[in-house]
Every structure is written in C-alpha cells, then in structure tokens.
Structure 1
C-alpha cells in the first residue's frame, strides 16, 4: 500500500510539472508572437508615405516611371501657370461696365478708354477695342470686339492642349510598362525552364506599379484640366455678356 501511494504521489508531481512547463512554454510563445507582431507593426508605421512612395517608384523601374514623373511635372507646371494667368485675367465685369458707362456720360469716349487702359483683363481689352472704333460706326465697333474677343480666347486657352496630351500619355506609358514587365516575366520563365512564382512576381509587380503611377498622374492632371476649362468658360461668358453691354452703351451714347 505504501508503494502504491508513492507511485501516485510521483505521478501527480510529474503531471503538475508537465502542466507548469506547458503553461510556461505557451506563455513564452505568446509573448514572442506578440513581440514580433508589434515589431512588424512598428516597422510599418515607421515607413512614412513619402518613403513608401519612393520605394514603389524605385521598384517600378527608372525607365517608364521617370517618363511618367516627367509628364506629371510638366503637366503641373503648365496647369499652375494657366491657373495663375486665369485668376489674374478675372475682372469684376459689373464694376467695369459701370465705370465705363459713367466715364462715357461724363468725359466721352476718351475717358472711357482711359478706364479700360487702367483695368487688367480680357474684358477691359475688348472694351478698349470697341471704344477705339466707336467714332466710325456701331458695326465697326462690333467687328472689332468680335475679332479681338477671338484673340483673347486664344490667349486664355494657350498651352491647355499640352495638359490634355499628358493626361492621355501618362496612362499609355503605364500600360506600355505593364506589357514590357509581362514580357520580361515570361522571358525569365523561358530562360529558367520552370514557372517559379518568384520569377513571375517580379515582372508582374513592375507591370502593375507602372500602370498605377500612370493612372495617378492622369487623375491629378485631369482635375487641374477640368478646373482650367471651367475657368476659361466663365471668363468667356463674361466677355460675351460684356460685349453685348458695350454695344448697348455705344448705341445710347451716339443717340
């Protein structure tokens, strides 16, 4: 009986020791996994957006990625120049019309022309051309306004076609990079004689990155392009309304 109790006591001690060891191992493993996860998360957080963008740009290859970046830089430069020019060309048409009308009533054509000379923008330039032909007849003034309005519209739309070119060119270059990346992937498979995932993944990754960057460039430039077109339409509408108002002012002044 004593031997039986001894065996049972030894068995209990061994079981308790095994459970404690398993618990310790489990706790250690859990702590290790948690630490690794935290390290990975910290590394991901440490990688800023700028660094991630730079990493992806390098992975996409300097060839096509550089050309796509050049399209973005040139397109943004033209877009910013056009936005500044259009904002400087915007005029308070109602105020200008009122000033011209007051000058016509008080000082005649020369006073109204002086008001236009002191005002910036295409509307003031059109007013000046119409007033400069006002001594001839209304038809001559109207023709001058229409002709000079076309000149001003051409200046407003200057270089805008280049932005539309870059919008179309950027995704096309991205798609070309995609095709070339796929061709390189299949060339590696053919040379290796075996379809390994690592061989295919590299080429497909380059292909997808060039496509993504090309689309991003096109989206950014499209937003600026639409804003510029809307601004040009607004200025052109002001020019047309102001031209009609000027003709009415000249008719009343001659009477």
Structure 2
C-alpha cells in the first residue's frame, strides 16, 4: 500500500514538472523557437495611433465645435452676432408664449355668451367675457359695454378695440426683424475687416502666400456664416409669430361679426 502511494506521488511530481516545462518553453513556428514576447510583438496593433486620433475626433461634442469656431472667428466680431441671437430668441420666445396664451376657442366662447344673454342678459354675458382670457374676449367685453348705446356703437367699438388688440399682438416683432437684418450686416462687417487685414498682411510682406492670408480669410468666412445662421433661425421664429397673429386676427374678425349678430338677435327677441 505504501509502495502504491509512493508511486502515485512520483507520477504526480513528474506530471507537474512536465507542464511547467511546457509553459516555459518557447513557441515553435516553422521549426524555429519564438518567445512569447516576440510573438506578442509580431501581432498587429488593433488600435493604431491614427484610429485613436479619428475616434477622439469623432467623439468631440457639438458644443466644443461651436466654441472652437467662435474663438477662431475672433470673439470681437462674433460676440455682436451672438448678442443678436440671444436677444432675438428671447423676444421671439416671449412672443410665442404670449400668442399661444392669447388663443381662444371662439366657438365655445360664443356659445357661453349666447347662453348668458338668454339667461341673465348683457350683464351675465359681461361676466363670462371678463373671466375669459384673450383678445377675443376683451373685444366682446368692449362691445357688450356699448350695448346700451345701440348696435352701431357696438360695431364701432369692436372695430376700434380690435385695432388696439392687433397692435398688442404685434408688439416686439419689429425688434425680431431688426436682429434678422442686423446679424448678417455684422457678419459682413467682420468679413470686410478680415479681408482688409489679409490685404494689409500681403502689403507688409510684399508677397502672397496661403499661410499669410489664411487667418484673415478664415475670420471673414466664419463671421459671415454666423450672421447668416442667426438670421435664418430668427426668420423662422418671426414667420411663426406672424402666422400666429394672422390666425388670431381672423378669429377676432369672425367672432366680432358673430357677436353683433347675437346682440341683434337678443335685442329683437327682447
């Protein structure tokens, strides 16, 4: 029994030593021994330096690109264009919010006014219009306040107050239009100044070389592009505001005619 146990131990020691020797022995390629380090060195690099550079360049954020272009375009010329964008967007967003809040369901309002006239008369209709937000309700209130003076005065009052409400709706659009015109002008001014600087550099050097004029031309192009982008963005907001105002004005006109018809009907049935 002891001999069998001793034999198994000897066989285990030999097996362990053979495995260790096999792991330490160099690899054989085409009859030649090659070390692990050499074999690893011969393997191609799956991530070469160029690929790493391309990956890093692709991962550059959009904000960082805009910031770099802003600095390359010279903040002295890009800052006024950026100010036009910020102020124009602020006014446009305020107008969009105000115009959306001014939108009224005219059919629903007319139905409430008609029910109020039938149940409580003109005073009840005034309470309905005063509790409703929007220019249409304000026009209705103004017309109902003139009901005691006759239908003709109601029509004149509605027309006059409609002009006032239309002026309120168009408030601020002139500033958006100003920034739409001003942003490209500032961009073109940066273009002209950049080109003047480029020609001054050519005159001072007495020779034309791409590296000499590239800086001024780059500033010129970047400021022009920035001004055009700002004008395009603000123009989209401006057109939306104009279309919204036209829609509200049409609703005001239709609702005013319907209000006069309701008051005439109420006066005849009274």
Over the residues paired in the alignment, what is the CA RMSD in angstroms?
A: 1.6
TM-score (norm 2): 0.81
User: CA shift at 1:39, angstroms?
Assistant: 2.7
Matched, 1:182 2:195: yes
**Aligned position for 1:5:** none
Matched, 1:68 2:81: yes
After the TM superposition, which residues 16-95 of structure 1 pair with which residues of structure 2 at under 5 Å, given as runs? 35-95=48-108
**Aligned position for 2:127:** 114
Deviation per residue, 1:203-225 (Å, 9 max, x gap): 11000000011011011101111
Deviation per residue, 1:164-188 (Å, 9 max, x gap): 1101110111111111111101101
User: CA shift at 1:92, angstroms?
Assistant: 0.6
User: CA shift at 1:42, angstroms?
Assistant: 1.8
SS class of match (2:218) = helix
CA distance in structure 1 between the partners assigned to 2:84 and 2:235 by the alignment? 12
Higher helix share: 1
After the TM superposition, which residues 134-145 of structure 1 pair with which residues of structure 2 at under 5 Å, given as runs? 134-145=147-158
CA distance in structure 2 between the partners assigned to 1:43 and 1:188 by the alignment? 35
CA distance in structure 1 between the partners assigned to 2:210 and 2:91 by the alignment? 43
**Unmatched runs of 5 consecutive residues or more in structure 1:** 1-27
SS class of match (1:77) = helix
TM-score (norm 1): 0.86
Runs of 4+ in 1 over 4 A off after TM superposition: none
Residue correspondences, number: 227
**Unmatched runs of 5 consecutive residues or more in structure 2:** 1-41
